[in-house]
A and B are shown apart, each in its own frame.
Chain A
Amino acid sequence: MSQPVLQLSHAAIYQRENLILSEVNVTIEPGDFVYLIGKTGSGKSSFMKTLYGDLPLTEGKGNIVGVDLNGLKEKNIPFLRRKLGVVFQDFKLLNDRTVIDNLKFVLKATGWKDKTAMEAKIDAVLDKVGMKSKGFKYPYQLSGGEQQRIAIARALLNDPELILADEPTGNLDPQTSVEVMEVLQEINKNGNTILMATHDYALLLKYPSKTLKCDGNKVFEVVQKTV
């Protein structure tokens, strides 16, 4: 049996001293595609932030990609982030350099040195998101959907054990959202585990999968038709 990629038991999520979610029990297995839904303010973002180390886990137990979230030290956060790929709602691409240089910058930051290996890796991730021909463009020359695909490519650079996508379609129109979703689905089929926070219920209907809902300070699994 393989280890779960994410396991939270009796966890409480706090934003500063405010309790946001309590009694959180969540397990994500390798290869899963899991939605995290809930209204604005229901705790989705805090939940995601706790997973990538932006908020501390002080109550309950948590383990993500083999890293203990309890007592996670600041200095271990970069290590955790390397094992995760994070996709943000607002893409977070550097506008002063090309797509390739954006990706190269992250590789260098995570210790890559060999130029040929870096080029091959960049080529591979751009291929996965269907953006191989756009490597020399600047982010501002791309549409929102294309920028998000680049951000997904960036998340794939260090072969993450889990991809956390925080409202990845939040800034995109419905048609583009579907395109980005197709990319995430494809990546999931190739074996990547994905946890995606969203409030776009149309996507859930189109691409049904395991769904967690934040509501009333709790997280629970919902069956698709009751969503």
Chain B
Amino acid sequence: MLSILIPTYNTDITALVTSLLDQTREAGVVYELIFCEDASTSYQEQNSALTAQPYVRALINKTNLGRTATRSKLAKNAQYDWLLFLDADVLIENDQFIKNYLTALPSGDSIIVGGTSYVDIPPKNKELRWKYGIKREAKNAEIRMENPSYIISQNILVKKEVFFSLNIVESRRYGLDNIFSYQIYHQKINVLHIDNPIVHTGLEENLIFLDKSLQAIDTLIHYERSGSVSRDFTSLQQAYQKLKKLRLDFVYPTIFSLFKLGIQNNIVSNRPSLFLFDLFRLNYYIKSRKNA
């Protein structure tokens, strides 16, 4: 009754998949596991060895479709009603991981979110992504329940029909979790957050993460305009709305430009400040919004 679905791109998922298989067996649940190589160029051979295992199948995209379109493809190929989506760049350390999800099923909610966690020490050159993850993403279920629609999709259990109603944007952009979360909010879908985190291991280097964060802002602005997300859904948008109320939105970029270099140097350093990271993103949001 459980379809475990993993979109993967250039990632060795052997450790993730084998720990999942061990746990599904242990839990005695009826399951299948499908992964989809999104036009990967490496680790395909290692991953393909997993298909010799019973209940494991692989799909292959010849061209890169991106994570959300790949998830749709996986969901269409799934035979069971509950879909456990996991990103390829995570590991499972809790040996009760599958059981915890199964225990939460009778709650009646259509989405169950396990949450994320990070290693204790920041990997070198990846301090920004690590700190952002630790401070902004790795929250316990109680705190996440305060704003239940807002989810990180790398570790969720979702009813198939609900997934299809939510995953309406299938572009190859970064930052689509904002859109997915907004759809949860907009469609008033019940979400249960539980403490069942994966360990997110696939962290980007500082400059790459900074770039992806800015791309995520482009995505946000794009879908603001098309109406797929409201103009005050994320904390970034809310900060902008406050500035606008105070009529500071026009001067902000000018003041910011005086400090831009110093701020950027801090963000990509080994001791980044998330406050400065927020200021940086706010500036980008204001400027891109004007230009868009």
Contact B49 A110 (CB under 8 A): no
- In B19-53, the 8 Å CB interface with A consists of 21-22, 25, 32, 45-46, 48-53
Q: Is B55 an interface residue (CB 8 A)?
A: yes
Q: Is the CB of B15 within 8 A of A96?
A: yes
B54 touches A110 (CB 8 A): yes
Q: Which B residues are in CB contact (< 8 Å) with A78?
A: 32, 54-55
Cross-chain contact B49 with A95 (CB below 8 angstroms): yes
Residues of A close to B147: CB separation below 8 A: none
Is B273 an interface residue, CB under 8 A from the partner? Answer: no
Q: Which of B15, B32, B51, B53 has the most CB of A within 10 A?
A: B53
Of A24-32, A84-92, A192-200, A216-224, the one with at least 4 CB within 8 A of chain B: A84-92
Cα separation A92 to B54 with both chains bound (whole Å): 12
What number of B residues sit within 8 Å (CB to CB) of A? 18
Asked if A173 is at the interface (CB within 8 A of a chain B CB), the reply is no
A88: B residues at CB distance < 8 A: 52
With A81-B54, A82-B54 as known contacts, state yes or no: A108 contacts B25, CB within 8 Å. yes
**B-side contacts of A151, CB under 8 Å:** 52
Most B-side CB within 10 Å, residue of A82, A93, A94, A151: A94
Task: Find out whether the CB atom of B54 lies under 8 angstroms from the CB atom of A95.
Answer: no
Closest A residue to B55 by beta carbon equals A78
Say yes or no: B25 contacts A109, CB within 8 Å. yes
Taking CB atoms, residues of chain B closer than 8 Å to A94 are: 14, 18, 49-50
B55 touches A154 (CB 8 A): no
**Which residue on chain A has the smallest CB distance to residue B24?**
A109
Q: Which residues of A contact B18 (CB under 8 A)?
A: 94, 96-97, 105
Q: Is A142 an interface residue (CB 8 A)?
A: no
**Contact status of A75 and B79, CB under 8 A, knowing A92-B49, A96-B18:** yes
The closest CB in chain B to the CB of A54 belongs to: B57
A114 in the interface (beta carbon within 8 A): no
The distance from the CB of B16 to the nearest CB of chain A, in whole angstroms, is 11
A74 CB–B CB distance under 8 Å: yes
Determine the chain A residues whose CB is within 8 A of the CB of B79 once the complex forms. 74-75
Q: Which residues in A have their C-beta under 8 angstroms from that of B15?
A: 96
The 3 closest A-B pairs by CB, nearest first: A92-B52, A92-B49, A74-B79
Give 10 A-B contacts (CB < 8 Å), ordered by A residue. A74-B79, A90-B48, A91-B49, A94-B49, A95-B49, A96-B15, A105-B53, A106-B54, A108-B25, A109-B25
Known: A81-B54, A108-B22, A109-B54. 12 other contacts (CB 8 A): A74-B32, A78-B32, A82-B54, A92-B52, A93-B49, A96-B18, A105-B18, A105-B21, A106-B52, A106-B54, A109-B25, A110-B54
Residues of B that sit less than 8 Å from A by CB: 14-15, 18, 21-22, 25, 32, 45-46, 48-55, 79
